Structure 1
Amino acid sequence: MGLTEVPYENSDFAASTAPADVVRRQYLASAAGDLAALRATLAPDVEWTEMAGFPLAGTYRTPEGVTSNVMEKLGQDWDGWTAHDDTYVVDGENVVVLARYTATNKATGKSIDVRVAHQFVVRGGLIVRFEQFVDTALVLDAMRR
């Protein structure tokens, strides 16, 4: 499934439990800065892993743990942090998204435009697992003066 414009408020899309739709809602909520909507896509026992070497490396649990330890911290350190999802590969409950991050580091003024892959597992209409794959050196370089 390639990137398509899906109306965020569309009731059929908003109610869909199809794995790709759940993941797409997560990206839309993140881009809109709607952390409540993002948390609504996550299972209560979600495991969200940011890659070793990434500034926020680690595994976070609970929807609140994910948004407070990842999304809110990215917003503190970066202007315009956005994950642009462009290609979806779906196999049952597994969804791999090829994407890119764009942002400008607040401390250095350096920008990034880096390719990433995200692997999601969706069960019962909620994301139960996430794993990030990214060139951490490009992100860290933008953070160095």
Structure 2
Amino acid sequence: MSEFATSTAPADVVRRLYLASAAGDRAALRATLAPDVEWTEMAGFPLAGTYRTPEGVTVGVMEKLGEDGDVWTAHDDTYVADGESVVVLARYTATHRVTGRPVDVRVAHHFVVRGGLIVRCEQFTDTALVRDAMSP
């Protein structure tokens, strides 16, 4: 097993989450999340709210996004780590299944990682651009 696969460094844990999400590996994604994780999707985002538990995050956020968009992807490109905090700048891309409109919007995620697991995530994005793509 590689050092990256077992590293508890906050940025490595978060990177494994993005890799698992891109691969559609829900088990690997859940393995990065603490049992009491709090995952907040920004007010105004179609899935706005706070989700708890690894199952709650994967079912309530990841699977729902997959239902709405073909190949919904978060392209992570910049990591800023400071202790247990990791901010990731990324881009969401997808094509909405119903409207056929593309989603292409910048996003920032703020993660808190403790003991090798993500305990909190908060999303920041231009929710109007996402809603526009999803509105009939």
Normalising by structure 1, we get a TM-score of 0.92
* 1:33 CA displacement: 0.5
What is the identity, as a one-letter code, of the residue corresponding to 2:24?
G
Matches of residues 1-145 of structure 1 in structure 2 within 5 Å?
11-145=2-136
Q: What is the alpha-carbon distance in structure 1 between the residues aligned to residue 48 and residue 4 of structure 2? A: 32
In the alignment, which residue of structure 2 is the partner of 1:7?
none
Normalising by structure 2, we get a TM-score of 0.98
* 1:121 CA displacement: 0.1
How many pairs align?
A: 136
Q: What is the alpha-carbon distance in structure 2 between the residues aligned to residue 116 and residue 76 of structure 1? A: 20
What is the identity, as a one-letter code, of the residue corresponding to 2:133?
A
Gaps of 5+ in 2: none
In the alignment, which residue of structure 2 is the partner of 1:6?
none
Q: What is the alpha-carbon distance in structure 1 between the residues aligned to residue 103 and residue 96 of structure 2? A: 8
The alignment's C-alpha RMSD in Å is 0.7
Q: Identity rate of aligned residues, in percent?
A: 82
Runs of 4+ in 1 over 3 A off after TM superposition: none
In the alignment, which residue of structure 2 is the partner of 1:5?
none
* 1:19 CA displacement: 0.2
* 1:35 CA displacement: 0.5
Q: What is the alpha-carbon distance in structure 2 between the residues aligned to residue 75 and residue 144 of structure 1? A: 17
